[in-house]
Amino acid sequence: MTPKRTSFDGINDGQPSVLPGTVPWQDLSDEALARAKGFLTPYTTPVKQAKEEQVQNYVRSQAPQFRALVKHRPEIIDKIPPNLPNDKLDLELYKHDQTYKAQLRAKGQEILTAATAEAKNLEDFDQRLEAFLDEWNDAGMAELARYVAHRKAILSFLEMSIGRQDDGKYQLEKALHNVIFPLKATSDDVPSERMNLWVLDERLVYHHYLASDLPLRKMTDAVVVGSTDRPDIIIFHGPSAFVESAPPFTTVTIIEFKRPVRDDYTDEDNPISQVYNYIETIREGTARDRKGRPITVPDRTPFFAYIVCDITPTLKRQAKTAGLRQTADAAGYFGYNENYGVYVDIVSFDKLLGDAKKRNAILFEKLGLTP
């Protein structure tokens, strides 16, 4: 035995005994563990049952993305410590889920390889493939569940952010901006799961280039402009694949965020005029063609502008002065400015949140994520 009495010297696990007639160490270890497990069963069973119930409840109510894992690999629950807080339990499940997904991909590759090597036994292959696809489908549904759960969390956080905070103040627009898309970044810098453009419009996800809180002069992948103006978010859409001399985008979207309940807009600090100035600056610059060469931004290029803010008295006056029309639900304003070639949509935070909830309601309901 070692000095610390944690193991035995001279015993090589997994190797047969060198002395005839003696019990191999592995057999001795396995039997001792089995006896110990049997002796402790009355004490461990209640703990195990409570842990299984905790994991199942957590997965059903808060983490549906792990349903396939606990269904097809229930033995992983034995490897999770009992009485974990939810954040640590989620981390443990995530670790096992990554291993499970890797094993599932390897299994799929093995089956597809066998399809070529053992084509003569088609019936056996079909049975194995069907069993694999059942499990793979469960895993795929879990990934969808993870995505939907993420959307639910984003909307819950956004709802909390637009309300009055504990200090009696409201969040700055940058905090709300960061929920939709991280600041000081482009679409080449940010993984897709951090892009929450769907909150505003699902179609915004598909774009050529996006810049968030960056000077116009740094957007050289799309346009050549010397201005230091920084739109909150600007999106260049639809690269042209057929016209060699056309700009690499067909439309441009500008998104501006304003602090909740802000009511101190002035003629000099007007979000509508701010958007118009951005558009004028871009039209005066040059775009980049498919070969990276600068070309003139066509006057026909349409712009879309979203101004996300609360509809306060000063904002109402500015919207009316700009000739915008109030929406039927009085939760915003919209209109087209022919001089700038821009469609303007002023959206209140309540409408933004409410519309996003409605679009995703059926997904939340199917996953049991509704209140």
Q: What is the pLDDT along the chain (371 residues), one digit of tens a residue?
A: 556 666 655 555 555 555 555 666 677 677 777 777 766 667 667 888 888 888 888 887 777 778 778 888 888 888 888 888 989 999 999 899 888 878 877 776 665 565 545 444 555 555 665 666 566 566 666 666 777 878 888 888 888 888 777 776 777 778 888 889 989 988 888 877 788 999 999 888 878 788 899 998 888 777 778 888 889 999 988 654 434 445 557 889 999 999 888 899 988 889 999 999 999 888 887 766 556 666 667 778 889 999 999 999 999 999 999 999 999 988 999 999 999 999 999 999 999 999 999 998 888 887 676 65
| Beta bridge partners of residue 210, listed in sequence order | 235
The reported pLDDT for the residue numbered 294 is 65
pTM of the model: 0.62
Residue with tokens 């036994």: 121
Among residues 187, 170, 176, 171, which one has the least CA distance to residue 154? 176
Tokens (6 digits) for 113: 């390889």
Specify whether the CB–CB gap between 347 and 332 falls below 8 A. yes
How do 251-257 and 233-237 pair as beta strands? antiparallel
How do 209-212 and 303-308 pair as beta strands? unpaired
Who's near 240: CB < 8 A, 6+ residues apart?
246, 247, 248, 249, 250, 290
| Cα–Cα dist 26/222, whole Å | 66
Who's near 28: CB < 8 A, 6+ residues apart?
none
